[in-house]
Amino acid sequence: MQQELKSEITKQHIVHEAFKLFYENGFKATSINDVMKAAKMTKGAFYHHYKSKEQLGLEVIELKIQKRVYNAMVLPLNGTGNAMEILENTFLNRIKSFPFYDKQQGCPMNNFINEIGNYEISYQLALKSIVEKWKKALVILIEKGKEQNAIKKEIPSEAVAVYLISAFEGIRGIRKLYDNDVILDQYISGLSVYLNQLKF
Alpha-carbon distance 78 to 109, whole Å?
Answer: 21
- For 136-160, give the DSSP string: HHHHHHHHHHHHTTSB-TTS-HHHH
Backbone φ, ψ for residue 55 (5° rounding): -65, -40
pLDDT tens per residue, the chain (200 residues)? 688 888 899 999 999 999 999 999 999 999 999 999 999 999 999 999 999 999 999 999 999 999 999 999 999 999 999 999 999 999 998 998 999 999 999 999 999 999 998 888 999 999 999 999 999 999 999 999 999 999 999 999 999 999 999 999 999 999 999 999 999 999 999 999 999 999 99
CATH topology of domain 53-198: Tetracycline Repressor; domain 2 (1.10.357)
CA dihedral 15, 18, 23, 27 (to 10 degrees): -120
Q: Are 98 and 169 in contact (CB under 8 A)?
A: no
Distance CA 108, CA 102 (A): 9
Instruction: Print the SS3 string covering 31-90.
Output: CHHHHHHHHCCCHHHHHHHCCCHHHHHHHHHHHHHHHHHHHHHHHHHHCCCCHHHHHHHH
pLDDT at 1: 62
CB 106 within 8 Å of CB 172 = yes
| Burial label, 70 (beta-carbon count in 10 A; 0-12, 13-18, 19+) | middle
Q: For helices 108-116 and 121-147, what crossing angle results, to 10°?
A: 130
- How far out from the chain centre does Cα 63 lie? 11
